[in-house]
Amino acid sequence: MRHYTRALFYWKMLNAGYWLFEFVSISQFLRKAPVQYGTAFLHTETDDNDLTYFIVHQAEVIRKALLEIHQYVAKKSQETRASMSLMGGHPDLNHRQQALLGHAIRHPHFHYNIAGHMTRQGVAYDTARLDLLDLAARGLSAQRKSGKALVFAAPHDLERRLRTDS
Predicted confidence (pLDDT) per residue in 6-37, tens digit:
788 888 889 999 898 888 888 888 888 888 88
pTM beyond 0.85: the answer is: no
Specify whether domain 95-165 bears CATH 1.10.10.10: yes
Alpha-helical regions (H) of the chain? 2-15, 27-32, 34-46, 52-88, 95-106, 114-121, 125-137, 158-165
The per-residue pLDDT for 48 is 87
CATH 1.10.10.10 in the chain is located at 95-165
pLDDT digits (tens, 9 = 90+) for 106-126: 888 999 999 999 999 999 999
